[in-house]
Amino acid sequence: MSIPSNPQAVAASVSPQSASIHDRLRTARRRESISDIRQPKILHPLENEGLRLLLLENISLDAVAAFRAQGFYVDHLTKALSEDELVERISQYHAIGIRSKTKITERVLKAASKLLVIGCFCIGTNQVDLPVAARAGIPVFNSPFSNSRSVAELVISELVALSRQLFERAYELRTGIWNKQSKGCWEVRGKTLGIVGYGHIGAQLSVLAEAFGMRVLFHDVVNIMPLGSARQVDSLDTLLSESDFVTLHVPELPETINMISKQQLALMKKGSYLINNARGKVVDIPALIEALQSKQLAGAAIDVFPSEPGSNGAPFDDQVNSWASVLRTLPNVILTPHIGGSTEEAQKMIGEEVSQALSRYLGYGSTIGAVNFPEVDLRAISAEQGGIIRVCHVHKNQPGVLKQVNEALSPYNVEKQYSDSKGEIAYLMADIADVSFKELPQLKGRISSTDANILTRFLS
């Protein structure tokens, strides 16, 4: 199943009430191609056990509908679940979909006796213990592109809001105070934006910022060809010292935790601004508070935090983060509840992308796009092809496994086969013909009884 591209369209001043141009183009492409492609055969687990999915954190209802249309049982919750709640419930599910608040820990994975796959309906995957999931034979999928534009547009809005002290002036007027002033308010045109992490979000932001007349610098751990007139600098220190605005777009890794702390904030221009829509632990918040109080920085926008409430309506206070009450009192600081990718467009695309990845794995065994797993795929079995069984074998990456598997498959005609490995884990897919259903339990037992076996599934 391919994911259709999302062509750019010129924005109109009035939103259409019918399907968008993107939806109409997708439909047209499907109609054009449907007669040229043999329809794939829908595969099912031979155990015939109804697959149960748990979707948390208000994941797109379009994804829920797509899963149910395929015959899956879906439980859909609007909130995150705690570790204890997950441990209590996870054993009954074959797949789980989460966003950023739910934590899939080693303890949760040990309790997940039926779990086959995890879908992160967001960019990040640091909320999942990826190595433990891989060792349990559970691939993890995410959506690395779908909310990039939404985050980039949020940053642009924060640039303007910070430079114009927009939140303060608006709050004052809502409390009945008229305070028209221009001191400390600036245009963003002609200013320098420093982007830390020039990935999908950083690159889109670069183009938008240049359209505002800004000079763009970026720092990344790899050499990247810039878009437009953006320029890559040799170090983070250089970027911090030359930028009027600094925005962060990096994953949470050991080397990025507190990458912006007291030393780095001291290098920034006096009166500059910091924006963090990446991960909460990337910025040392107490050090940021000190820099704001001393007027080293003129403002900041923060959308992500080291600890975040588990549900809407919950308090954001010192019990969540010890410095929360102080941060909330600082002037010209924009605080938002992790809404970088929270647009209708982004959530729809994320729902489509991740649900398709989960469906491809559950129904066809494909791991293309998995972040912690070997990426293996086979062309679809067409509806005209009968009597073919697909073997999906997750195993430890050690010598002799392929020999054992191929010996088990030797009585049958192997139509196609592919395997790959990633670290400690290897994955093999094979389509075999001329096998009777009576022989399958013995064949599956032979493959899954090897000392390298992690998980073996047969699809038909």
Which residues are catalytic, by number?
A: 279, 308, 338
Helix or strand holding residue 64 (H, E): helix 61-69
Nearest to residue 455, comparing CAs of 377, 365, 364, 359?
365
Residues 95 and 45: beta-carbon distance below 8 Å: no
The CB density around residue 434, as the number of other CB atoms within 10 Å, is 12
Report how far residue 349's alpha carbon sits from residue 64's, in angstroms, rounded to the nearest whole number: 13
Residues 340 and 303: beta-carbon distance below 8 Å: yes
Instruction: Tell me the HSE value of 199 on the side-chain side, using a 13 A CA sphere.
Output: 15
- Which 3 state secondary structure label does DSSP give 196? strand
- Interacting residues of 97 by C-beta distance below 8 A, sequence separation 6+: 53, 54, 55, 56, 59, 63, 118, 119, 120, 121, 354, 355, 358
Helix or strand holding residue 240 (H, E): helix 236-242
- Which 3 state secondary structure label does DSSP give 207? helix
- Which 3 state secondary structure label does DSSP give 261? coil
Distances 14 to 18, 172, 349 between C-alpha atoms, Å: 12, 32, 22
- Which 3 state secondary structure label does DSSP give 388? strand
Residues 427 and 449: beta-carbon distance below 8 Å: no
Q: What angle do CA 335, 336, 342 make, to 5 degrees?
A: 165
Report how far residue 396's alpha carbon sits from residue 418's, in angstroms, rounded to the nearest whole number: 16
Helix or strand holding residue 404 (H, E): helix 401-409
How far is C-alpha 222 from the geometric centre of its chain's CA atoms?
Answer: 21
Nearest to residue 374, comparing CAs of 125, 128, 134, 144?
134
What DSSP state is assigned to residue 281?
G
What one-character-per-residue DSSP string does 40-56 give?
BPPP-BTT-PPPEEEE-
